Structure 1
Amino acid sequence: MTTPTPASTEPADPRLAGTFSLLAPDGTPRRPELLPLGPEVLRLYRQMRRARLFDDRALVLQRQGRLGVYPLFGGMEATQVGAVLALDTARDWLAPTYRGTGCALAYGLPMHKVILSWRAHPDGFRMDPQQRLLPFYVPIGNQLPHAAGIALAERRRAEREGHDASVVLAFVGDGGTSEGDFHVGLNFAGVYRAPAVFVIENNGWAISTPTSRQTAAATLASRGEGYGMPAVRVDGNDLLAVHHVTAEAVARARAGEGPTLIECVTYRVMPHTSSDDPARYRDEAEGELWRTVLAPARRLRAYLDRAGLWDDEQEQALAAEVEQELRDALVQADAAPGLEPWQILDHVYAEPTPDLLEQQAELRALYPQRGAGQ
């Protein structure tokens, strides 16, 4: 497995002590022999900037009443995009958290589907069967047992058909590591050597609870030993480092060597959701270093500038490209059929349970005129 950055390299923040990184905060290469080639770096950078630009605009849309409550991921885009782009989206699975909009965009979920998801429209969370992407999970940690089960099914299919297994990449926040589903999912994956990669987005805060009040463990990655799987801590704001360690873990899983736990140390510079006021529970000056010096785009942009691979003109062109993509996505999302209240329950199980049918009937009774003829 990847070794941490040498201890002689003083971290910019104590939380980053012992993490693996490829680029210093000023963009200077720390492990030049591990850096990908220019075209791959540009692919990663473009997707990271696209995700962050969407996140920034999503908050505006929510304030305009064009989205529901929205969980921002700003400041964590390197973790989400860097990990997801290590997958083969034609065969591998992604299980995001509710904060995983950047993950879904990088995986290939169309932008209009993302918008519909945060409008609670069924067309948003009804995924394309050809796309191995699970919907955004709001229950904390709920996706981890699902991910482990899918991974075991993929391993058995691969053994039966005689090929390498598809891999499942699952995300969880630092708060989610205290949930029972975290233990169940990782323990199951470890016991059955399921081809899964679990990424902890350690952003320092479980809503209003800091990591220091959540666990006495020195690191969250140390939990991997208890589940019999290797674990690595990485600077979650170093896009290239996150991509590197995830690609290693995906290769291990595909080769039949079992799951890996990755702790990405990052920071939630934005509110918990668009309805949150973080000033009520944290000193906003605490995150200033992460908003500026440690910002993911600042670091990689400095590296690209030195290498002569990017400039301000290209940055402006990318911003304009994403803005146009967002405008087109809004037009498409606005054209989606109107939503009836009972349709929210349509896409829960393949075969509706008696409870769901009863709840749908109650909703139809509440809106008799809208339900006429249905």
Structure 2
Amino acid sequence: MTYLDYNATTPVDPAVLDAMLPYFREHFGNAASRTHVYGWQAADAVAQARDQVARLLGVSEKEIVFTSGATESVNLALKGASEARRSASGHIITVETEHKAVLDTCDHLARLGADVTYITPHADGLIDPAQVEAALRPDTLLISVMVANNETGVIQPIDAIAQLAQDRGILFHTDATQAVGKLPLNLSDGLIDMLSLSGHKLYGPKGVGALITRKHVKLTAQQDGGRHERGRRSGTLNVPGIVGLGKAAELCHQQLMTETIRLCALRDRLEQGILSHVRGTVVNGNTTHRLPNTTNISFANVDGEHLLDSLSELAASNGSACTSATTEPSYVLKAMGLSDELAYASVRFSLGRFTTDDEIDRAVQHVTDTVARLRVEFAG
């Protein structure tokens, strides 16, 4: 089977695994234990990982909070900032196509009294900074807009939106889960107040992530006990996972430009191969402002519920991994104006570090043959 679902998760890079293994048995200390060598070794490893993540994103090591993943990071950012400003009933702006980690957290805050504005994207998945500006209110306390969409790969104009927020003293958070390691992100300009990321999207392990929170941002911790991570996130640190996240960040930093060029070429090869061989296909989302590894294609005149199951030689998806258990059409594509029928019959192909030319060619042939067969069955 050809794996083309890298936006759902990535395999751990061998170099990342090698870096992690000693911290399961040889250097197994608790990073909070500062009275013996085992704790010192663990603390040094965490410090090194913090430096590796900081270098990737252009931030200070003190601005990194290690978490269990992007979902926890998002919760800490949105809930923590709202509580710290003593304004759970304030105004929040986000986008209809955000990941469920953001949308569900906003729903939670809305139940506590917050007023949330959900911006509808244009048909290509992009929002305009003017839409955000029009939604601003005197009581707006937070804006959350993702860097790149997990289903379509569309990249939002976050610098312009973050500038709007900064000019008005409003906190800006971005879910950069799909962008970190794929796009050059440097937070040294100070526009982004908080950024969420997850290790398993950039060839690190599952169960570890980080929230970048700038020095001026006040957060109320969402779990108490021990005041780890400068009092922002209590809990014994996952040292092997953090080491893996750090090594993954280092590798992405080293390979970013060459990998971007390679993935763009492979994505275009896959996309053009499918569009040229299969009629009635359309790429969903803006094709200029998008991730180098992602294409989302809809297939007309196909029973969408059977499309993915029939692509038996491919691992791909028709939406976020977090919603794949549902039978509803993609809410992201629906927000962009697609019908239920086309949303059901859309497939996200996401490529990665270990994708090869031969795999792309096999995928094009398999999709072509499968869709042709399904259309015969659909017509009959």
TM-score, structure 2 normalization = 0.33
Higher relative strand content: 2
Higher relative helix content: 1
